Structure 1
Amino acid sequence: MTALTLTPVRIRTRRPVGVSIAAGFLALVVTAAALAPVLAPYAPDAIDLSASLAGTSADHLLGTDSSGQDLLSRVLYGARSSLVAPLLLLAVAALLGVTLGVLAAWRGGWVDAFVSRLTDVMYAFPGLLFTVLIIAVFGTGMTTSVLALGLAYTPTVAKYTRSLALSETRKPYVDAYRVQGMGGVRICALHLVPNLGRAVVGYLVVLFGEALMSLATLSYLGFGAQPPSSDWGLMVQEGQAAVVQGAMLPALVPGTAIAAVVVSFNVVGVWAADRLGREG
């Protein structure tokens, strides 16, 4: 009798419908932001006082604000800064947080204790308050907001990276490279950090929606983007006065855009983090 050999079959799980819808919506938003000069019917800073607070029409599909600026055009152009700024924020947090987390896990001892106490001190301040304190020193603006929030998110990324790196440094391949005479910096840069990449990227995807909301909050408070920017958070702040006059669209349109993108990124982020965690 011939022995039967069983070939393992890899079962591919289907992507949930909600995740597909959220991913499709995000792809549409990114495409619209990239093609804003082509899709926008007007320039984002084009003022037409005769069309102030106009409702939806063939000329203005989403209405206008108090200055007669077309809301659709402003939302399309505003998507650029509203999506790029969180990426830069998380890049700053990842660069600093991963470095601190890996350093603490690799060196241990007083270095680990110092990094842990440093992140605990940063945690003692609410993230928004910490950011406002930095902005109060260096001034308002999107660049300052991105750097300040990047520092505020650093301890979160550092603690997560440290927890992953602690278990990774105990694996046999680390000792094998040490026996071969490879230095700690090379081991961490060439092997340890790349092995943590999937989990860290998944975690950053989950943080993207929160980062976008934090930047929009700073712009709404007047600390982030400044006029005549069409950043979504600033648009909500500028449209707030129109609500008293009964015009909801100037605040509702950018506010809905923020909420829809944040929810979509949270849905896709949780799914992506779960997949990356299982495949890593």
Structure 2
Amino acid sequence: MTTVTAGALIPVRIRARRPVPVMIAGGFLALVVVAAVCAPLIAPHAPDAVDLSASLAGTTSQHPLGTDASGQDLLSRVLYGARSSLLAPLALLALAALLGVTIGTVAAWRGGWVDTLLSRVTDVMYAFPGLLFVVLVIAVFGDGLTTSIIALGLAYAPTIARYTRSLALAERSKPYIDAYRVQGMSGARICVRHLVPNLAGAIVGYLVVLFGEGLMSLATLSYLGFGTGSPSIDWGLMVQEGQDAVVQGALLPALVPGAAIAAVVVAFNIVGVRVSDRLGKGR
């Protein structure tokens, strides 16, 4: 945005301020990442240390967020659980992006029957309930974190493919594409070296928005018993393990990891929308 000073037509550029919610959400996410990386240094207890004498203890000086049924410190487990809870969605989105961007780019570039075929395939996969598809994959190949990541990656790929195709169709019509074709450059080389890199900003912004959804999906699978299993530490698994304590009047074992999931998902949604808008304008 520019303004004009009185007496002289000198443009003065004013930097737009970042919205306060975005700054708060970004700072919170940075704090979560630092806490996950430094978990061995800042966790007050070992995450698997059992102390039955402190079973379902409330907040104390030794256990700031209380303990679970086994007397394990919830703060320590949340810090360690942040590692898998943040890394798994990254792997999920990396796989989904690899498949989705490839399918969307090929469909937009080739057009014709190739575009029609790939579009119909992605439409069918997109219309199929994602969670049901994941459960079917897990039923065939067995449960576990790796299977969950692969299954969700396949489920998310059609969404990214459709988004990439819409971007690639608009990018393909720009003059520089024809210029490279006239120079004799192959379609694959144009896509890899020029078209896809020019779409990278918008795609990355979209992936940031999807990160929170991916984290929630993986936590849901762990809660249902299809994802991470004991003795691994995962926020979704912690909620599942803490639900029995709710009947006994102890809310913290389920509330603490549940609140962590909700806070991180909301923060990623806020930051993701902002990043998507900024990178989208950059195109």
Q: What's the counterpart of residue 3 of structure 2? A: none
- Deviation track 1:29-78 (CA, whole Å, cap 9, x = no partner) reads 00000000001111111111111111110111111000111100000000
Q: Which amino acid aligns with 2:84?
A: S
What is the total number of aligned residue pairs between the two structures?
277
Cα distance in 2, alignment partners of residues 63 and 143 from structure 1? 31
Q: Does 1:94 align with 2:97?
A: yes
Q: What's the counterpart of residue 213 of structure 1? A: 216
Q: Does 1:235 align with 2:238?
A: yes
Q: Does 1:133 align with 2:136?
A: yes
Q: In the alignment, which of 124, 142, 146 is matched to residue 143 of structure 1? A: 146
| Bigger mean CA deviation after superposition, 114-123 or 9-18 | 9-18
Q: What's the counterpart of residue 229 of structure 2? A: 226
Q: Secondary structure at the match of 2:46?
A: coil
Q: Secondary structure at the match of 1:252?
A: helix
Q: Secondary structure at the match of 1:54?
A: coil
Q: What's the counterpart of residue 59 of structure 1? A: 62
Q: CA deviation at 1:12?
A: 1.8
Cα distance in 2, alignment partners of residues 177 and 99 from structure 1? 20
Could you say if the C-alpha distance between residues 5 and 220 of structure 1 is closer, same or farther in structure 2, counting changes exceeding 3 Å? same
Q: What's the counterpart of residue 44 of structure 1? A: 47
Q: In the alignment, which of 178, 186, 200 is matched to residue 197 of structure 1? A: 200
Q: Secondary structure at the match of 1:223?
A: coil
Q: Which amino acid aligns with 2:122?
A: T
Q: CA deviation at 1:6?
A: 5.3
Q: What's the counterpart of residue 179 of structure 2? A: 176
Could you say if the C-alpha distance between residues 105 and 17 of structure 1 is closer, same or farther in structure 2, counting changes exceeding 3 Å? same
Q: What's the counterpart of residue 162 of structure 1? A: 165
Q: Secondary structure at the match of 1:157?
A: helix
Could you say if the C-alpha distance between residues 186 and 82 of structure 1 is closer, same or farther in structure 2, counting changes exceeding 3 Å? same
State, as a whole percentage, how many aligned pairs show the same letter. 77
Q: What's the counterpart of residue 115 of structure 2? A: 112
In structure 1, runs of 5+ residues without a counterpart are none
Cα distance in 2, alignment partners of residues 207 and 7 from structure 1? 43
Cα distance in 2, alignment partners of residues 153 and 99 from structure 1? 13
Cα distance in 1, alignment partners of residues 156 and 168 from structure 2? 18
Relative to the length of structure 2, the TM-score reads 0.96
- Deviation track 1:79-125 (CA, whole Å, cap 9, x = no partner) reads 00000111111100100000000000000011101110110111221
Cα distance in 1, alignment partners of residues 179 and 221 from structure 2? 48
Runs of 4+ deviating beyond 4 Å: 4-9
- Deviation track 1:167-219 (CA, whole Å, cap 9, x = no partner) reads 11111101110010000010000000000011000100111111110000000
Q: In the alignment, which of 254, 257, 262 is matched to residue 257 of structure 2? A: 254
Q: CA deviation at 1:10?
A: 3.7
In structure 2, runs of 5+ residues without a counterpart are 1-6
Q: Secondary structure at the match of 1:247?
A: coil
Could you say if the C-alpha distance between residues 197 and 80 of structure 1 is closer, same or farther in structure 2, counting changes exceeding 3 Å? same
Relative to the length of structure 1, the TM-score reads 0.97
Q: Secondary structure at the match of 2:34?
A: helix
| Bigger mean CA deviation after superposition, 191-200 or 8-17 | 8-17
Q: Which amino acid aligns with 2:245?
A: A
Q: Which amino acid aligns with 2:40?
A: P
Could you say if the C-alpha distance between residues 170 and 238 of structure 1 is closer, same or farther in structure 2, counting changes exceeding 3 Å? same
